[in-house]
Structure 1
């Protein structure tokens, strides 16, 4: 299962699949861009149906949804030259496009780094690729790890920092800016700020993402707390009033804007501000302030020599937010905004780089660095 197939395919179409918690986005791409895209939303019925099951238990259901849509759009599996999927919670790995093989599937089945909807990406991609007799790939998974060594120390040997973030969109935006600037990505020193349901602020040098805040660090966002005062968190944990699951949900899913305002919707927060809601305005300002602080921290990581700050993600559509953030960070470097997160296109681009011979597809087992292998052993991944 999942072995690399040396296939010549007359089609230049690639099927791309990006599963999320409450939706599945997928589409058919050519080298020129999207030919057809679709989004299917999954309601409470699905969430209840699979409650208590592993994420991969949803594979058959999600595949059926995609198959139905493809048939209605008059696509046949054999039309695809390859299939690309969103990379999930895999071991630490170098950036790039990876062949979906037994090693990747086994890691996702074990879910040693956690259950997440993105874990379905490779499994679904392989399912459709096998039907077409072609290869399946994942591109720049969330566990891409290019950190410099000094970024790994947390302050206590009992807790290691480990790299996880919005690598797919962040890397795509960095490459896009490099192309538009007629410069090579490895020659640029960049800060890339992804602002979606989670916020990742990253520093780039020599073509590598050398540091970034992880989901439990950095600014608070629509429903995540980001960094918290540690001693106060310890006290909260020791009260006995909350289970571990409740505490985890408090910081990852019910924190940030949601905790303060009862909404994860940035536009709703802005409507409240326009209506004179002083609390909404204060929380909104604090979130932007924290994003700016983290951006300044990454400027220090790059020793103050930054070619550009790139702002991306869904929240980058907000002119109000971008305007306020610029006032804090304009001094660092010129700011360029790439609203949204075109993850389907980013996956497709990675697959086409392999199909065109511009990039060699990687294998999970052969592209762990010695440092990453050591980390994998520590947490029981190997």
Structure 2
């Protein structure tokens, strides 16, 4: 798979605009691939509401103060135009000859898209055909792509897929044990998500260890409001926790993670809940928020420290699931060189890291309390020198990964 390595710019245009379009939001970053520097970033949220909000932050020359505007932004086209106006105010407009491409985060690429892909009409049609397996994500991604195409029809637009990194999983890991004909007819299999993060972090972990990615086996724990684990053998994903959708796997902020499928039948029969109601329950009212009413790990830890039993149980369930996946992926990989924590919770919650590794000494895993307590934005080891398996914290950078993959593709 194309990576950010080797994506140094030559003498031509070197800027890449990265767009992450959600159902009611657009996140963006402008990067210069000559030195991987960030020129600007921003967020447009609550699109279509009277209380729409845009926050734009210029990052050149040591950074600048965020600029905020509020008021109705009708749709994604208006949101992207507003972002373009903010960029233009900093001399970074979308009409700049320095802009080489626009890279789009696309959540679901199915089995067809295993690499970053220049967006054509046929590619867009295939992304649309995948909407049934990603109804919450792909439609918003498509809207962002079409809007950007309308604003800069002459510019290469590249899709970078969350699922692509996981397409290297062997068939026995990707298949569910259900009727093959039914599964194939409806594209039911394990796809995995957060792929750009897992790709970036696993590669950076190898760098931290001073080894080549193909020589390292890594367990990556991407712990944000959405959370996923992956087993990466020699730079290739061989197992991941999310499945057909981002619901499977670890306990998350509002998602249940692994659950007996029969729970859904039980809720329908006994509680009279509809499929849509169960969907909302498992995706938006479960996980940490369902267990204790909070999905912010900082608040949960504060409550734990004050003796709150519900918060303590939620924390213990969260950590127990992490331990199960670390153990399972250790078995899948056979040899583990590092366990790495990333994303909001993984990078910032020392108690989560400590608790997840505690008791796993027989697997070669130990955390040094002093190293674990250090707050830093840099990749770092938190295990003692004598540990058989490294434990690391590596900040993720999905925007840089998307920009790097985009630029490497169009610069070839």
Instruction: Tell me which interval the TM-score lies in, with the shorter structure as reference length.
Output: 0.7 to 0.9
Alignment of 1:89-104 (within 5 A): 89-93=108-112, 95-104=114-123
Alignment of 1:205-220 (within 5 A): 205-214=233-242, 215-220=246-251
In structure 2, what is the equivalent of residue 25 of structure 1? 27
Deviations 1:35-70 (A, max 9, x none): 323232423853999xxxxxxx95324323322322
Q: Distance in 1 between matches of 2:221 and 2:159?
A: 22
Q: Distance in 2 between matches of 1:48 and 1:247?
A: 29
In structure 2, what is the equivalent of residue 133 of structure 1? 154
For CA contacts below 8 A with separation 6 or more, give which structure has more relative contact order: 1
Structure 2 vs 1, CA of residues 30 and 44 (structure 1 numbering), >3 Å: closer, same or farther? closer
The answer to whether structure 1 residue 148 and structure 2 residue 150 are counterparts is no
Structure 2 vs 1, CA of residues 146 and 119 (structure 1 numbering), >3 Å: closer, same or farther? farther
In structure 2, what is the equivalent of residue 379 of structure 1? none
Determine if contact 2:105/2:402 at 8 Å carries over to the other structure.
Answer: yes
In structure 1, what is the equivalent of residue 269 of structure 2? 238
Report the RMSD for the aligned CA atoms in angstroms.
2.8
In structure 1, what is the equivalent of residue 407 of structure 2? 352
In structure 2, what is the equivalent of residue 42 of structure 1? 45
Q: Distance in 2 between matches of 1:308 and 1:327?
A: 15
Determine if contact 1:142/1:166 at 8 Å carries over to the other structure.
Answer: yes
Moved more, 29-38 or 119-128: 119-128
Structure 2 vs 1, CA of residues 151 and 242 (structure 1 numbering), >3 Å: closer, same or farther? same
- SS at 1:290 equivalent: helix
Alignment of 1:81-120 (within 5 A): 81-93=100-112, 95-110=114-129, 111-117=131-137, 119-120=139-140
Q: Which runs of 4+ in 1 moved over 6 A?
A: none
Structure 2 vs 1, CA of residues 131 and 261 (structure 1 numbering), >3 Å: closer, same or farther? same
The answer to whether structure 1 residue 322 and structure 2 residue 353 are counterparts is yes
TM-score (norm 2): 0.75
Q: Distance in 2 between matches of 1:63 and 1:286?
A: 40
Q: Distance in 2 between matches of 1:275 and 1:41?
A: 37
The answer to whether structure 1 residue 181 and structure 2 residue 209 are counterparts is yes
1:258 CA displacement: 0.9
In structure 2, what is the equivalent of residue 16 of structure 1? 18
Deviations 1:199-248 (A, max 9, x none): 21111124321111113322211111011133344312322521111101
| Correspondence for 1:197 among 225, 228, 231 | 225
Determine if contact 2:17/2:103 at 8 Å carries over to the other structure.
Answer: yes
In structure 1, what is the equivalent of residue 367 of structure 2? none
Q: Distance in 2 between matches of 1:188 and 1:47?
A: 50
In structure 1, what is the equivalent of residue 192 of structure 2? 164
TM-score (norm 1): 0.80
| Correspondence for 1:270 among 301, 311, 320 | 301
Deviations 1:93-150 (A, max 9, x none): 4543211122232233442322234654465356446627221112243354221011
